[in-house]
Amino acid sequence: MKRDHPDAGKALQNGRMKKSHGLADWRCKICTNPPWSNRSKANAKYHCRTKHLQ
Ligand SMILES: [Zn+2]
């Protein structure tokens, strides 16, 4: 089986918030206006799958 959405992961950018929080913030490289980000990697993947795989 081949992966049918290889770009989904590439669209995500993992950045760090404040050190005190220590939580990663997943941002979408494609969505800049408005910017999209989420603390959950699962939500980020779901976002890419549903918004950028048409
Ligand atoms: Zn997006």
pTM of the model: 0.65
Q: What is the DSSP letter of 20?
A: T
Helix (H) or strand (E) holding 28, with range, is strand 24-32
Q: How far is the CA of 24 from the centre of ligand 1 (A)?
A: 17
Q: How far is the CA of 2 from the centre of ligand 1 (A)?
A: 23
Q: How far is the CA of 28 from the centre of ligand 1 (A)?
A: 5
Q: How far is the CA of 48 from the centre of ligand 1 (A)?
A: 6
pLDDT tens digits along 1-47: 555 666 665 788 887 766 665 667 899 999 999 999 998 889 999 99
Tokens found for residue 23? 């939580």
Domain ranges of the chain: 7-51
What pLDDT score was predicted for residue 12? 87
Helix (H) or strand (E) holding 16, with range, is strand 12-16
What is the number of other CB atoms lying within 10 angstroms of the CB of residue 47? 21
Please give the Cα distance from 2 to 36 (Å, whole number): 28
